[in-house]
Amino acid sequence: MVLVHAGEVLGRLPPVALEMPWWPEAHDLFAAIRGRDGVEITVLRLLEARSDRAFGGEVTYLAETDRPPSARLFDWEGGDPLADHPLRQVWARPGGPEQLLSWAADRLATKGLNRTGSAEQMRSWNLSALWRIPTDTGPVWLKAVPGFFAHEGAVIDWIGVPAAPRLVDFAPGRTLIANIDGDPNHEVRDPAALRPMVALLTTVQQRSIGRLDQLSAIGVPIASYRSWCPGSPAWSSSGAPSSTCRSVGRWKC
pLDDT tens sequence across 87-109? 999 999 999 999 999 999 999 99
Higher pLDDT, 248 or 35: 35
Question: If pLDDT is split at 50, 70 and 90, which confidence band does 239 have?
Answer: very low
Asked if 62 contacts 51 with a C-beta cutoff of 8 angstroms, the reply is no
244 pLDDT more than 50: no
Q: State mean pLDDT over 166-187.
A: 93
What's the order of all strands across the beta sheet hosting 2-5?
Answer: 8-12, 2-5, 59-65, 41-49
Q: State mean pLDDT over 216-228.
A: 78
H helix intervals, 120-247? 152-159, 191-208, 212-217, 225-228
What does the mean pLDDT of the chain come to? 88
Q: State mean pLDDT over 205-224.
A: 89
Q: State mean pLDDT over 174-182.
A: 94
Q: How many CB atoms lie within 10 A of CB 147?
A: 10
Residue 236: per-residue pLDDT:
44
Q: Compute the distance between CA of residue 32 and CA of residue 225 in angstroms, rounded to an integer.
A: 48
Higher pLDDT, 87 or 242: 87
Question: If pLDDT is split at 50, 70 and 90, which confidence band does 231 have?
Answer: low
Asked if 63 contacts 94 with a C-beta cutoff of 8 angstroms, the reply is no
Residue 235: per-residue pLDDT:
46
Identify any residues that bridge with 136 across adjacent strands, giving them in sequence order.
138
Residue 54: per-residue pLDDT:
78
Residue 50: per-residue pLDDT:
86
What lies within 8 Å, CB to CB, of 32 at 6+ separation is 16, 18
Residue 163: per-residue pLDDT:
87
Asked if 11 contacts 63 with a C-beta cutoff of 8 angstroms, the reply is no
Beta pairing, strands 8-12 & 167-171: unpaired
Residue 226: per-residue pLDDT:
60
**Domains of the chain (ranges plus CATH)?**
2-65 (no CATH), 91-178 (3.30.200.20), 195-250 (no CATH)
